[in-house]
Amino acid sequence: MTLWQGILLGLVQGLTEFFPVSSSGHLAVVEAMTGVKTPGLFVEVALHVATLGAVLVIYGRRLMQLALGVLRGRREDVRYAGLLVLATIPAGIIGVLFHARIEAAFRTLSFVGAAFIVTGFVLWSTRRRSGEASEPTPWQALIVGAAQAVAVFPGISRSGSTVSAALWCGLGAERAAEFSFLLAIPTIGGAALLEARHVATDVAVVGALPLVASCVVAFVSGAWSIRFLVALLRRGRFYAFAPYCWAVGVLTLVYARWLT
C-alpha cells in the first residue's frame, strides 16, 4: 500500500464509518478501484480502531461517567453497561462463526453493491421515526445488537443499522446515536483482538508509514463526521442518506458487472 492510498483509505473510513453509508463497503470498492492489496481484513480493522479513537474522544466524558457509575454500583449505569454488553453478543457470534465468509464478501463487489441498496431502504424506513426513550429495554437492545450483527458484512452500514433499529425502538435521536457509537467500542475492540495475532506480518506487508497515515486521517475525519451526524439526527434527516446509498449501490453493481 502506498502513502497516498493509505491517506485515501483513511479519509474514506473516517467519513463513512459514522455516516450511515457503510465504511466497509466503501473501503471494499475503493480497494478494488485503486488496486490496493491488503492481507485479510487487517487494514479494515486497523482503520476501524482509528475511528474508534474518535468515539473515545467525543464520548469520553460519558464513558468516564458510565465507568465510574458501574464501579460505584449506580443502578442506572450498571443497567446501561449491561445493555451494551447484551447488544454486543449477536455481532460477536456472527463475527466468530462467519469470519471467512465476511472476508470473502469484501472481495465480492456484486454483494457489496446489493448491500448498499439494502442499507438505503433501512435508512428510508426511519422517516418520521423518533421517540423519547433514553435507553432501550433488554429485548430492544438485542434487536439493535442483531442489526449490528448483520452489519458486519460490507455494504450494510453499522451505524445506519443500529441507529435505525434504535429509532424504531422508540429512542430519541441523540440517545440512539449515543447507544450506537458506544456499542461500537466492544464490537470493534473484539474484531481488533481477533486480527491482532497477524499484526507483525500484516504491518510488514502493508507498510508502517502508509498504515499510520491512514489511521491518523481516519481519526480526524471520524471525529468530524460524528458531530455532523448528530447534528443531522437532531433535525430528523437521518433518512437523507438513503438516495446516496442507492446510487452507490447501483454504480457498484454496474462496475462489478463491467469487471466481469
Written as nine digits, the cell of 259 is 469487471
pLDDT of residue 109: 85
Alpha helices in 20-108 (DSSP H): 23-34, 42-58, 60-71, 75-97, 99-105
Burial class (CB in 10 A: 0-12, 13-18, 19+), 230: middle
Three-state SS at 39: coil
Per-residue pLDDT tens listing for the chain (260 residues):
778 877 888 888 888 878 888 887 887 888 778 776 655 556 777 777 888 888 888 888 888 999 999 999 899 999 999 999 999 888 778 766 665 566 565 567 888 899 999 999 999 998 877 677 888 899 999 999 999 888 878 888 988 999 999 999 888 888 888 898 888 888 777 766 665 555 555 556 667 787 788 889 989 998 898 888 888 888 878 888 999 999 999 999 998 888 66
Asked whether the beta carbons of 157 and 119 are under 8 A apart, the reply is yes
pTM for this entry: 0.82
Partnered with residue 171 across adjacent β-strands are: 133
The CA distance from 225 to 62, in Å, is 18
- Over the Cα atoms of the chain, what is R_g? 18
